[in-house]
Every structure is written in C-alpha cells, then in structure tokens.
Amino acid sequence: MAAQVGGQKPFHVVSPVLESLPLSKAVGTKVFMKLENVQPSGSFKIRGIGHQCQDAARKGCHHFVCSSAAYAARELRLPITVVVPSSSGPTPVRKLQDLGATVEVYGKVWDDANRRAQELAKTEGWVNIHPFDHPLVWEGHSSLVRELKDSLEAKPGAIVVAVGGGGLLAGVVAGLHQVGWQDVPIVAAETLGAHSFHEALKAGRLVTLPDITSVATCLGAKTVAARALECAQECQVISQVVEDTEAVRAVEQFLDDERLLVESACGAPLAVLYSGRLQRLQREGRLPTPLGSVVLVVCGGSNIHMAELRALKSHLGLE
C-alpha cells in the first residue's frame, strides 16, 4: 500500500512492522522490525530521495545525477546518470542499468563518486540529488516514524538504526519530533572502517576518515552530514561500532531466523541486537531497564545476494 503525502503519491510504500521472536529472545525484550527492505527500490532511501526527486521534477529538472535515485527517475520518466564507486561491485551496477540508468563507475569510495556527480550536475537542466545531506531527504525519511506511531500500541523504548552518511538518522530524529517521541533513545550502528559518525561524536566535530575499509560499502561516507551531529544534541543518540565479521555473521543469522537477506550495512544494527550490546547499555545505565519494545529499522537488501554473502564470508575468513 502506498503512502499519501501532501496530495502527491510518493514512491515508497507503508512498510510492515513485525515482531521478531528470535531477536526478541536475543535482546530480552520485544523487538519489532520496520521492514524497509521491502520498499519498491529495496531500501528506505526511496522515502527521502523520492521526495527530493519529485520536488526537483516539479521545478523543471531534466536529468538527475545521483547514486541512489534510479527508481525515482524511472517513475518520473526522467533520465538519470548514476555515479558509483568501484567499491560498489557489479550487483548494484547491473540493477541500476536494469532500471534504465546510465551508470558511471568513478573513484574508489562514495566520496569520490559524489565529487564526479557534482561536476556532471553543472550541465544545464541536470540536478544532483544528494543521497543523505538535504532537508528534503530528511523530511521524506521522517515518514518512517509516523508510520511507527500508527502501527505500535505504545512508544518504543529504543530505535536501532544503521548510520552511513546520516540521512536516515536525521529523518528518524525529524520524525520523533513530529510525533512527540523525541525522548526515545536512538542506537546508531556502524561498522569499523566506516565509522565516521562515531569519530565525529567522539571529537565533537565533523571528522573525515582517511579511507573506507569496511565491507559495508553502503555505510561508506568518509564524512557524515553536519545534521547528524546536530541530531545528537537534540535526542539521545548512542553510537555503537561493530566489526565487519559481526555484521556479516548477523546477516547470516537474520537470514536463518527471519528468511530475509539484507546487506552488510543492515548487519551493523543486527549485530548490536545479536551481540548483547543493548543489554550492556542497560547495565551501564545508558538505556532504561526495563526497556519496553525495541524497533529495528531493517534498512535494505537491494545490493546483496547469496553469492555475495558467501564471498564476504570468505573474504573475512568466516567460511
């Protein structure tokens, strides 16, 4: 079922909220999954990016440039050039081409590709859609929390999300303000080697990582959006960093438990739940006891398949 916002039908759907018995057992309290992996594009990103693309189309955009807007461009019947880094691998490139996008592989990490996208967007009529650092993107992502308010019987005790560039975090914080849940703690999960938000929190300022070394390339922004740091001043945001091995093991465990295959980026928040980190945060007094329900945002699974999961396990010595 599609959501309806502001009179124009958005491209995302109202995603299911389901209880996970295995995750509830692991955490010791009820865990609800917000299944953003079932979005038409396979990811939560269609909420914010779709919203921004619709706005740009209304204002006369003739051609999009973005790393994550191929689905929205197809729905708007506008051409798009997608610039992706070489670290993305062949799967997303193939899927983007299947959606009708012109794909350019440029640089090693997302930051390199973004610089190239900014150059291309200097062409008249072309608009660069930033995948995480734009108010319209955050506004679009905030719809996720409004749906939670409609679906849950009570306010959750915590929300667990993955952090890459910070767009999802900013959208969740915006949504919490909109529904009056700004006192709900957010556990922000990253993998080591893509932990730019954690480093920024620790330093109290934006920090640029020298490189992205994590296999969770969807979390691979060397510098988070400045808005992500502001969010940590407005709400309780608890940063947690997991190892790549933990994230990939969590992906495999989740596949066994829930029959859902998700990306290693989503493995980061899953690892927080499977590893006992939430209980440790409770023991440390950083999360309440009892916790009440926990919401896990299952952020996406568009760029993963079994062969890639096997390759990740082999690469990390988990076979």
Would you state the pLDDT for residue 5?
40
Question: How many other C-beta atoms lie within 10 A of the C-beta of residue 193?
Answer: 18
- Helix (H) / strand (E) element for 159: namely strand 158-162
173 and 312 inside one domain: yes
Mean pLDDT of 25-31: 97
Residue 220 lies inside a defined structural domain of this protein: yes
213 and 299 inside one domain: yes
147 and 112 inside one domain: no
CA Rg value for the chain: 18
191 and 96 inside one domain: no
Would you state the pLDDT for residue 319?
76
Would you state the pLDDT for residue 87?
80
- In sequence order, the β-bridge partners of residue 104 are 83
Mean pLDDT of 192-214: 96
Question: Tokens in use for 229?
Answer: 């740091």
* Band of pLDDT at residue 4, cut at 50, 70 and 90: very low
The highest-confidence range among 2-16, 108-122, 144-158, by mean pLDDT, is 144-158
Would you state the pLDDT for residue 303?
83
41 and 66 inside one domain: no
Residue 242 belongs to domain with CATH number: 3.40.50.1100
* Band of pLDDT at residue 8, cut at 50, 70 and 90: confident
Average pLDDT over the chain, rounded to an integer: 93
Domain that holds residue 67: 62-124
Residue 104 lies inside a defined structural domain of this protein: yes
Please check the confidence at residue 92 and state whether its pLDDT lies above 90.
no
Going from the C-alpha of 290 to that of each of 234, 235, 278, the distances in angstroms are: 23, 20, 12
Would you state the pLDDT for residue 132?
94
* Band of pLDDT at residue 67, cut at 50, 70 and 90: confident
302 and 246 inside one domain: yes
114 and 260 inside one domain: no
Please check the confidence at residue 111 and state whether its pLDDT lies above 60.
yes
The residue among 62 and 218 whose pLDDT is bigger is 62
* Band of pLDDT at residue 221, cut at 50, 70 and 90: confident
Write down the number of H helices and E strands in the chain: 14, 10
For residue 250, count CB atoms less than 10 angstroms from its CB and return exposed for 0-12, middle for 13-18, buried for 19 or more. buried
Contact 197, 206 (CB under 8 A): no
Residue 103 lies inside a defined structural domain of this protein: yes
Rounded CA gap, 63 and 76, in Å? 10
